Structure 1
Amino acid sequence: MGVDRGRLADGLLAIVEDSSDLDVLPERLCRACLAALPVDGVGLSLMGGNHVGERALLGASDSTGVRLEELQFNLGEGPCASAFADGRPVLVPDLGDGDAKGRWPMFIHEAETTRARALFAFPLQIGAISMGAMDCYRTRPGPLHEVTEALVVAEAVTLALLHAQANGGGRGLADMAIGHHAAVHQATGMVSVQLDISIEEAFVRLRAYAYRHDRSLDEVGADVVARRLRFTDVPQ
């Protein structure tokens, strides 16, 4: 039996309307999605492109969901990023599959250290409006048969987030998402000044340094902001 589109949309919008704290809204939406779909966890990311300021974690239902979203933010690849770029679902019933490893080698290598064994990503979009992606993971490999239902859920989440954006009282969803990676955004600007390069290139340098030293972007960003790391001292 499929998900009732109207009831789910009403339920998600009710969460938005009843929430007095926008900081907990993404997690509540994730948990509502988790209750509606036969998956073990859900994550949401806002997206607008492929460089700093245009991708950020919005929320997740648990620590594994957070980890999967942050890996894709750190590495710049993964099913979530592909679903947004392609504007269609990206279904990975087995993260150990050779095709997945060939398409997202860095992400799959790291994702295999988590509890996730299957990952299904859906764009958050309505018509020409595209704002991010929803990741659903399972702790066991196998296909997701409820793709149509998941698309209904993703559309309802998009409606709920658009509603929150319109009623945020001056504080937008992008501000909430950027808060998860504040040091990275500040560090990108500092590296841009240090090396006299564009913001986009500075972000690529940060990402490459983090990957080369097996660290997260947030950790590297914090070191740059605290002036423990200067990219003028990093061999190029």
Structure 2
Amino acid sequence: MTTSDGMAEVLRSLRPGSGGDPARVSTRALDVAGVSVSVFPRSVRGAHGTPAPEPLWCFPDLSLRFEELQYTLGEGPGLDAARIGVPVLEPDLDRVRADRWPALLPAAQLLGVHGVCCFPLALGGARLGMLTLLCDGQRTLSDEQLADAKTLAAALTATLLNRRDPAGQNGAGDDGALWPTAGLHRAVVHQATGMISIQLGTTLEEALVRLRAFAYSSDRSLGDVAEDVVARRLRFDAILDDDGYGPHSPDGGEG
């Protein structure tokens, strides 16, 4: 299929030194409510080797909030697309079975996300990340939108592969604004998970469940809560909260 003029502009914005804003340009070219790209740094792995997605760029802010929601809950179309290696297209979340993503679906509705289409950034067995499009819930992707999204996913995959150095790190090349190496915040989640695991004497999986549950119930991002745990402002052992369950703030404040 032929690449549209809008997607040609997006591809130009991906070039090092272009000074373009690929998230904003992609959202306009694809005619969707939002676009986000998340990557799996090889140096950051979750419990038992599960990759932790890092938001690379998003537009508008709703896209970033949806990415955080998926990671906090540990379920959603983006994580499924990355795991199985094929696109997950759900342009109308009202038509999705309630038991498919039981925690995500009502939360996405409250957030104002009506439809999501996710494309894995992968080559062979390598899972590099995911491209997520937010849809308006009123229509499916047209043939042109679908072709453009696949073109963008292929271009992003190639770019990420070219920017990985032999040590397995994401390389910033000559455009660190688009492909950053510093400031990846998921690492603090894994560190916090390990600390909670030790505090509670439980598995990493159970510790991550506890961390996610607390973040969701307190309406905070997983990263924010993890930072409190790592900074020792929040503990999950020894002293429980007023209802007998949950973390404790060493300074006496609310956990």
Cα distance in 2 between the residues matched to 1:181 and 1:127 = 25
**Which is further off, 65-74 or 36-45?**
36-45
Checking the alignment, whether the CA contact within 8 Å between 2:34 and 2:135 is kept in structure 1 is yes
Spell out, residue by residue over 1:176-225, the C-alpha distance to the aligned partner (whole angstroms, 9 max, x if none).
Answer: 4x623454233223223323445444323311332344433123213313
Q: Does 1:133 align with 2:130?
A: yes
Q: How does 1:149-188 map to 2 (within 5 A)?
A: 149-166=148-165, 167-168=171-172, 175-176=181-182, 179-188=184-193
C-alpha change, 1:64 and 1:218, in structure 2 (3 Å) is same
How far residue 158 of structure 1 moved from its aligned partner, in angstroms, is 1.4
Gaps of 5+ in 2: 166-170, 247-255
Q: Pick from 83, 107, 128: which aligns with 2:81? A: 83
How far residue 2 of structure 1 moved from its aligned partner, in angstroms, is 3.9
How far residue 30 of structure 1 moved from its aligned partner, in angstroms, is 2.3
Q: Could you tell me which residue of structure 1 aligns to residue 249 of structure 2?
A: none
Cα distance in 2 between the residues matched to 1:228 and 1:97 = 42
Relative to its length, the structure with more helix (as a share) is 1
Q: How does 1:20-35 map to 2 (within 5 A)?
A: 28-35=21-28
Checking the alignment, whether the CA contact within 8 Å between 1:53 and 1:185 is kept in structure 2 is no
Instruction: Give the letter aligned to residue 96 of structure 1.
Output: D
Q: How does 1:1-236 map to 2 (within 5 A)?
A: 2-3=2-3, 7=8, 11-14=12-15, 17-18=16-17, 28-47=21-40, 51=47, 54-99=52-97, 101-145=98-142, 146-166=145-165, 167-168=171-172, 175-176=181-182, 179-233=184-238, 234=240, 235=245
TM-score under structure 1 normalisation? 0.78
C-alpha change, 1:174 and 1:131, in structure 2 (3 Å) is farther
Cα distance in 2 between the residues matched to 1:208 and 1:87 = 27
Checking the alignment, whether the CA contact within 8 Å between 1:57 and 1:180 is kept in structure 2 is no
C-alpha change, 1:19 and 1:163, in structure 2 (3 Å) is farther
The 3-state SS of whatever aligns with 2:65 is: helix
How far residue 94 of structure 1 moved from its aligned partner, in angstroms, is 1.1
Checking the alignment, whether the CA contact within 8 Å between 2:10 and 2:29 is kept in structure 1 is no
Cα distance in 1 between the residues matched to 2:118 and 2:46 = 17
- Aligned positions, number: 226
The 3-state SS of whatever aligns with 1:112 is: helix
Gaps of 5+ in 1: none
Checking the alignment, whether the CA contact within 8 Å between 2:87 and 2:120 is kept in structure 1 is yes
Cα distance in 1 between the residues matched to 2:204 and 2:94 = 35
Moved over 6 A (4+): none
TM-score under structure 2 normalisation? 0.73
